[in-house]
Amino acid sequence: MNTIDFDAKVKGFVANCEAGRAEDWLGLVVVANFVRRRCDVADNDEVKRLSLKVVRILMERGFRAGQFERYGDSKLILWPDQAPDAVVARIDREWDPAKGDPNINDICWFE
C-alpha cells in the first residue's frame, strides 16, 4: 500500500473514531484490525508498525489510553503518562508481533 492510500484510509478511520468516541471506547484490537483488513497488511511486524502510527494520530487528537481491571468493567483506568510518545512506546513494548495482533482486552483501550 502506498503512503497516499494509507493516509487517506487513516484519515477516514480517525474521523470515525472521533465521531464515536462519546459512545464507546476504542480497543487497540480495532486499530490493528483496521490496519490488517482495511489497509490489506499481512505481515505482523508491519501491522504493528502502522498501528503505532495510527495510535500516535489518535493521541495527538486528544484520545487517552488506559486499561480495564477486567474486561467488561465500566471504568477505564487511564495510564499515568498520556504523552503520545509515552503511549506509543508502552504499546511497542507490550505488543509482541510474533504472537499476532492484540486480542479484545490486550494492552489498552482509548477514550
The pTM score is 0.94
Give residue for cell 481491571: 69
Closest CA to 87 of 52, 111, 37: 52
Q: Are 104 and 20 in contact (CB under 8 A)?
A: no
User: Per-residue pLDDT tens for 29-66?
Assistant: 999 999 999 999 999 999 999 999 999 999 999 999 99
Per-residue pLDDT tens digits for 9-32? 999 999 999 999 888 899 999 999
